[in-house]
Structure 1
C-alpha cells in the first residue's frame, strides 16, 4: 500500500483525510508543521505528499522549495484555499506535481493521487539522450538546454514544456495538448499557465523560436 504524507495543521481536515485515505487503501501519515514534513519526507518512505500552503511555521511553498532543493522527487499535490493563477504557477514552478484548491471533492483527490502514483513508462533503450533542432539541444539527462552554444538552466516545468516542443518541431501544438503533456489532463483548461510558461521559455530560448499561431497554439520554428 502507498504511504501518503498529509501536511496540514487543521485537525478537522487532517481527521477527514486520514479516515478517507485509510478507507481508500492508503497508509496516511501526518505532519502538522512544515519542518516536521521536511524531516519525514527526507526519510524516504513516503510515496506522495499532500501539502497545505498555510502552515504555522513555514508555508508550503518554502517546504516544497527545501524538499526539491535536497533532491526529494516524491510527488507533491498542494492543497490550499489560495486558488489564484499566480499561486498555482508559484506551486508548479516550485516543483509541485498538482494543485487542488479547497474545498475539493475527496473522490477527485483520490483520483489525482492515483494518477501521480501511476508508474511512468521507462524510455526506450534507443531513445537519444539529447534532442536537437537547428541550434537548440536539449539534454534529457542533465535537464538543460543549449542555445547558440551556451547552456541554459530551466525550471522543471520549463524543461518539460521545452521537451514537448523539441519532440514535435514545426508542429502546431494547442494549449490543450501542452496542458495534457506538461501539467496533466486534470489541470484547469481555462488557465493561462501555458502562455505564462511559453513567455518564460521565449526569454531563455529566444522570442523568435516559439511562434504563436493565433487561435490555435504555439510552434517551435
Structure 2
C-alpha cells in the first residue's frame, strides 16, 4: 500500500465514526418526526365532538347551555340522536345532494346573487355594519331602526338562519332601503347604492328570484 493510499485509509477510518454519529442523530430525529406525524394523523382521525350552537338573527353563534341542550334533545329526539348515537351520523353520508338542495331551492341562487353584488365596485360600502363613530354620523341608529349589511347577510346564509328565500330578499331590500332613507339623493353614497341596486334587480330576474321580491 502506497503512502497516499495509507493516508486516505487513515482519513476514512477517522471520519467514519463521525459519519455514524451524524447518521444516528439524523435517524433519531427522523424517527421522532415520524412518530409526531403518526400521532397527528391519529388525532385528526378521531371523531369531532358535536357542539350544538344557537344562532341569533344576525348570524352570531354561541354554544348552548346544559339546560338548553337538554331541552333541545327532549323536543327534537330525531335530530339529537346524531350525537347521542355515534353510528347514526353515518346515515348523513347517504343523503343525496340534489335532495338536500331541493329543501331550499332558493339558497344556491341566493348565494349567487349575493356574490354578484359583492363583486360590484361600489358594494364595499355595504360590506360591514355602518360605523357611525368612524363615519361621524352619530344619529345613524336614531334614523335607521333596522340596520342591515351584506356581511351580516352572508353570515346568516352560512349559519342557515334564513328559513325562506323571502327572508333573504327582505334583508337585501333593507340594505338599499336604509341607504336611501339616510342619504341625500345627490350624495355619492346614494348614487353608489343606486348602481348596486340596479344590478340586484337585474340578477333577481336572471336567477329566477324575482318571484320572491316583495317590493
What TM-score do you get using the length of structure 2 for normalisation?
Answer: 0.24
Which structure has more helix as a fraction of its residues? 2
Higher relative contact order (CA 8 A, sep 6+): 2
Which structure has more strand as a fraction of its residues? 1
